[in-house]
Structure formats: structure tokens, C-alpha cells
Amino acid sequence: MSVLFSPVKIGPRTLKNRIIIAPMCQYSAENGHPTYWHAMHLGHLAISGAGALIIEATAVEPQGRISAQDLGLWSKAHEDSLRRTLTAVRACASIPILVQLAHAGRKASTANPWEGGAQIPPDHGGWAPEAPSAIPYEPEEIPPHALDAAGLDRIEQAFVDAAKRADALDLAGVEIHCAHGYLLHQFLSPLSNTRDDDCGGSLENRMCFPLRIVKAVRKALPRNRILGIRISATDWVPGGWDIEDSVAFAREIKKLGCDYIHVSSGGLSPKQQIPLAPGYQAPFAERIRRETGLPTIAVGLITDPALAETIVVTGQADMVALARGMLYDPRWPWHAAAALGDKVDAPDQYLRCEPHGLKGLFRR
């Protein structure tokens, strides 16, 4: 039996295997509500044989969306519409499903990626972004509004309310988005946070608001719900957030009852220089796991089953996540199990598609 296909415990839940489907924005919602596209998208990923599925970045308030087509969970109506989608998915699959709660901060109000992804200003149908400091992502963009104390309180409550809605939806848990240059990452990095109050300056101060969100969400969720967090381990820019800061942050979120950390990188600055290679972010996950003991998910160009197996066998991470690779090959876990000589779950309706040379691949 491979380690990749062995069970793993995350907080209150035990997953059947260590393959996680990472959150992937679909830019296909209508006023924050899921559409037929989401039912299809989540449905076919839910029967992939992975250990868990994390729903895409879901905004906790309207102005926290990356685009106007982002999924949202800021009202009871959004809870109800997502419930309808989940009901359809759950009728066909038993995979544990989490949701990633997010706020885009200064990277809000953009066009869809296939439309260029540029910022849309308020006079062209967009809205005014908010951030720790009035520093735009790109120099030519409109500077975001620097959040005041009332704004911080509002966003904290939005995360809490969304977490309670996730609980009401009977989701397995919540992942807080603190990566890829979005709001909470913006607070962490000295490149985007130049505040002179208790939320800016020193590392401890810059961690203050993200930790406040983690603490509030943990309090809002029952202990039978998983709480995870996704971070960017480094900005890939000199003078920015780095792995040493990430280790310090991981220690603090562990104290607050976080069950895992999902280790990505980059996204905060257009000046980033990322040395892309298969598994290039796994060393960050390994260091955080080694120095904090917090369960980790490694992610980033992990598409070879042998590489995924090596990452978990050698202790670089407890789990591996796939995003674009899973879009390209929604049955990746089946193919990984075949390559590693293991077994994987498949729907009864698909059992007869088991290849003749791989009898025993599907559990029965």
C-alpha cells in the first residue's frame, strides 16, 4: 500500500487518502450564487477518488470578491443557493467537502482571467478595493482604501458569519485564504502593509489581524469542523514575507487551534521571481512541518504520482494538493493509484470501466 493512499487525520476527521483537491476559482457565479457550472464542476471532482475537496475562494462580503463572478457566502440566500448545489453533489459522492473563505483586498474588482484580469474601476462597473494600506498591486491601478478600525471589525464579523454558514451547510470545515496576495496576506507582508498602528510595522503587529480572523473563525466553528489556512510561504521578492515569517505565523495559528496549513507561495507582488519546477513549494511545507509539527499540505506542480508519493513518504508534507492538474485530469487519483499499485474509490456506475490489466484498482 502506498503512503499517498493511506488514511490521514486532520483535526476531527480522518480522510481516506492524502490527495486534496485545492480551491480553484471558476469565475462563474451570479451575484455570488453558484450556477449550473458549479454543480458540474464540483460534481465530477467529487467522484475523483481524492481524500477531500475544497470549494473555490468564496467571498465573505461583496467587496471581497476578486471578480464580480466570484462565489460568495455573505448572506442566508447564498447559504441556501450553495446548499442546493451541495445537495446535488452529495447525492452522488461522499467525499468530505470544505470551503475556502476569502477576501481579495486590493486585488478585488478585476475582470475574469480569460478577459485579461485587469482591475475594473468603479466608473466602469467595478468597486473600490480595500487593503491594509493605500498601496495598489500595480502602480497604474487605483489605490485601495486603507481599512480603519471599523472596517477591520466589519471584515472579522463577515468571516465569522460565513464560517457559521459553512457549519450550517454541514461542510467538513473551512480553509481561511491567507495567500496569493489577497487581504490577509496583504496584512502579513511588509510590501503591502505600511500601517503605523497595532496592525503594522513589526512581524507581530502584521500578524495581528490575520490571527484575529483565525481566532474568531475557530471560535465560530464547532470542534467537529476542520479549520485550515492557506498561506504564501514567501513573496519571492527581497524584503517581503518569507519562510522564516511563515514558520513564526504557523506556530501562532497552531496555538489557536488550526488543524492544518496549506503551503503555497507568491501572488503579492508583480515583481515576484518564482523558480517554477515540479514540487517547488514542497520544501516550504517540509520546513513548516518540521519546525512546528502542524499538519501540512504541499501544493504546486505536483502532477507525477511518484513525486506525490515521495513528498508524503519523506515527510515533506502530510498531504498533497492538486489544482490545475486536477482540472486537466479529473481522474488523477485513479491514475495515481494505478501507477502506485494501490486501490481507490470509484462510483458503482463506473466500476466496469476498470481496465482489464488493473483488476482490483477500484475498491468494492
Active site residues: 182
Nine cell digits for residue 218: 475557530
Are 232 and 179 in contact by the 8 Å Cβ rule? The answer is: yes
Tell me if 156 sits within 8 A of 137, measured CB to CB: no
| Phi, then psi, of 314 in degrees rounded to 5 | -85, 0
Q: What is the DSSP letter of 345?
A: -
To which H or E segment does residue 173 belong? strand 173-178
If one counts every other C-beta atom within 10 angstroms of the C-beta of residue 280, the result is: 15
8-state DSSP, 33: B
Cβ atoms of 174 and 228 within 8 Å: the answer is yes
How far lies 293's CA from each of 128, 215, 309, 327, in Å?
40, 19, 20, 31
Question: In angstroms, how far is CA 77 from the centroid of its own chain?
Answer: 23
Beta-strand relationship, 8-10 and 13-15: antiparallel
Rg (CA), the chain: 20
